[in-house]
Every structure is written in C-alpha cells, then in structure tokens.
Amino acid sequence: MIPKSHPRYLSLMTRELIVEGVRNGITSTQGLIAQGRGEAFDYLIGEKSTDSALAAEKIAAAQLLLAKRPVISVNGNVAALVPAEIIKLGEIVNAPLEVNLFHRTEDRVDKIIKHLHSLGARNLCVKSDALIPGIDHERAKVDSDGILRADVVLVPLEDGDRCKALVDMGKTVIAIDLNPLSRTAQCATVTIVDNIIRAVPNISKFAGELKGLRKEELRKTVRGYDNKETLCNAIYEIKMNFESFSCQSLYIPPII
Ligand code: ATP
Ligand code: MG
C-alpha cells in the first residue's frame, strides 16, 4: 500500500495500474518497459502538462471534432492506465475505440475489449479483417471499418513504424508520447508530449470547450499548425526544466 503522503504517489500508483494490467492479461510485459521509458521523460518534463503539450492537446481536440471518421486506438497500456477516460473522450468526439496491439494476441485483444465493455464502452471496432500496408502481418491487422478507413487516428503510445505507415496512408495521426525524440513523436501529424494520464482528460476538456464552434472556426484553430515547432518547444521545455535543477538546489548530505 503506497501512502498518499509519498512524494511520488501519483507516479507509483500509475505503475501499480500497469502491473495490474499485466496481471490481468491486458498489458504486455514489454508494456512495463515502455512505461519506464515514459516515466524517465516525465521526470525531465516535470510531471506536468507543459504549454506546448496543452497547445497540441487543443489542436488534437479540434482535429478529432473536424474528422469525418475519427478512431481512437487502444493498446494494453492505455487500457490499464486510462480506460474510463479514453471511453469518455470517444463519446465526446464521437469516435469509436479500436484495440490495436504491437505484441498482438487474440486473447489479449478479447480481454481488452471485455475490459472496455465492462466500463461502459459502446462504440468499438472489433474486426481485424484488414492490413496496414508496409507492416508485417500480425502488427498490421486493423478493422476495415475502423483504423483502415479513418481520416484522423489518435494513437496514444504507438510504435514508430506503424505511426509512419498510418501517416503514409494519408491519415492525420495524433500521437501521445512522452519522448519527443522517438520516431513516433517525430513522424506524427500532431505530437502531444505528455503523459496519457494527463493528456487524455486534457483533450476531452478542450473538445468539450470547442464542440460548440462551427467547422470554419475549428478549421481556423488548426490552420498553420506546425508540429516541428511543437517538438522544438517540448525539447526546449525539458532543457529549461533540466537547467532549473542547479547544483545549489541539490541536497547533498554532509560527510561526517
Ligand atoms: P519509437 O519506436 O517511436 O522510436 P520507442 O521505441 O522509444 O519509440 P516504445 O518502447 O516502442 O518507444 O514505446 C514506448 C513509448 O511510449 C516511449 O517513447 C515512451 O516515452 C512512451 N510512453 C510510455 N508510457 C507513457 C505514458 N504513460 N504516457 C505517454 N507516453 C508514454
Ligand atoms: Mg519503438
């Protein structure tokens, strides 16, 4: 039991959720390592939604609302960390959820679908009858009425290869990735450098605010968006946060 007073309470509780996801057969063991890589970047970011992340989250919300056929991709880490929040986002932007796994097994796909259903998900793409071109077979499987036909896909924690393949298909790809240097972050159309536990509720909040706008106003919001600038800003924010840890602020116990 982690006490609430622990300085890393939220981070440790998030870790517990991932461990539970592995125990329940929802998350892959590789998902644990992915979470660890993310945690390291979150530390450098300062474990908060930075200005560049918030700006990208607003663009993501507008893109999802503008989409004709938006789809939200769900993997084992997303299903363990933010299942209720991702269902809520899907409802706000009217996008189905599609389970899409890098280390795919039909058993894990079924478990995630059941998990999402049990939490109230109604709009799910459950077929695996199509393939993403240029990707090897198991990792390429998608729903012909879901990701295959989607114009905008939200991929929280996507692999770099698949992200590129989706972009090459002409889709607007929104990635959530704490590492601004990953191939996923570098090749997505919109990259949100933030933890999914903060990013998903933030996108929902922006979507709720933007929902009343006319299409033309939404288009104005996304016009001129430059993802390279977002990534540069995210890297700059990490650099500034890093520099703020000056030697003076480090606690070094005296030698006795
Ligand atoms: P790429 O193949 O795109 O270069 P990678 O090999 O670094 O990426 P993977 O290990 O395939 O990445 O996937 C994990 C990615 O997900 C990491 O970049 C990590 O920073 C990110 N990540 C892990 N946990 C979270 C989280 N909770 N929120 C946001 N991003 C996360
Ligand atoms: Mg990778």
Atom of ligand 1 at shortest distance to CA of 182? 4
Tell me the per-residue pLDDT of 71-94, one tens digit each, with 9 for 90 and over. 999 999 999 999 999 999 999 999
**In the prediction, which pLDDT does 114 show?**
97
pLDDT of residue 30: 95
* Among 178, 197, 198, residue to substitute to test ligand 1 (most atoms within 8 Å of Cβ): 178
Q: Which residues surround ligand 2, an ion (CB under 5 A)?
A: 159
Which residue type does 132 have? I
Q: What is the pLDDT at residue 235? A: 98
The ranges of the chain with pLDDT < 70 are: 246-249
Both tokens assigned to 36: 């660890």
Residue 202: partners with Cβ closer than 8 Å, 6 or more residues away:
49, 53, 54, 57, 194
Q: Which atom of ligand 1 is nearest to the CA of 30?
A: 10
For 143-152, the pLDDT digits (tens) are 999 999 999 9
Q: Where are the alpha helices (DSSP H) in 134-193?
A: 137-140, 160-168, 183-187
Question: What is the Å distance from ligand 1's center to 220 Cα?
Answer: 31
In the 8-state DSSP scheme, what is residue 247?
A: G
pLDDT reported for residue 247: 65
